[in-house]
Amino acid sequence: MSAQRELFREAAIDAISDMAQYLPSDCELFVVACRPGSKVFDLVLPSPEANLNNALDALRRQGLSIDGDNAYKRDLCDSIFGALALGAQNNNPPPAGHWGQRFWDIGREERAMQEDLLESLTNLVGLAKLGAARLDKYHAALAHAEAVIAKATR
């Protein structure tokens, strides 16, 4: 830790207790210092009772948006894309109760729908090649295809 950062850290820790005495008892206090584009000086000092999720909520109320570009959002989106892809592959499900489970399930459901559509279309192509001699099977395959299409377009 650089000497300048360490001096700031010590001053901030001393100041937290001085500032906290002027806050209502149900408030949480954070001191945050950052150098944009560099993590070298990043410093987040919460008071003992503080919760970082509450600080994030406060920043959102002040205008922090998901529309801006930041590493947290990129990592979160990468995690969601990964869960969707792994679900589509039916591979590496998240642990029980994990927030990514719903995205893994969406990937799995989308892949199952693709497989059902592919099977239905393959059957239709095969039956079309057989011609009118198998008209009853052709109608059954069409009914299945219509059901799959209806399900996919709900």
With a CB cutoff of 8 Å and minimum separation 6, the contacts of 88 are: 107, 108, 110, 111
DSSP 92: S
Alpha helices (runs of H) in the chain, residue ranges in sequence order: 3-20, 52-61, 71-88, 101-130, 135-152
Instruction: Return the pLDDT at 103.
Output: 97
Instruction: Return the pLDDT at 1.
Output: 61
DSSP 69: -
* Structure confidence by residue, pLDDT tens digits, 41-55: 888 888 777 888 888
Bridge partners of residue 33, in order along the sequence: 43
pLDDT-derived band at 94 (thresholds 50, 70, 90) equals very high
Average pLDDT over residues 83-111: 96
Looking at the predicted structure, is the pLDDT value of residue 98 above 80?
yes
In what helix (H) or strand (E) does residue 50 lie, and over which residues does it extend? none
106 contacts 85 by C-beta, under 8 angstroms: no
The chain-wide mean pLDDT, for the chain, equals 85
Looking at the predicted structure, is the pLDDT value of residue 79 above 90?
yes
User: Domain limits of the chain?
Assistant: 1-64, 69-154
pTM strictly above 0.85: no
pLDDT-derived band at 125 (thresholds 50, 70, 90) equals confident
Instruction: Return the pLDDT at 14.
Output: 84
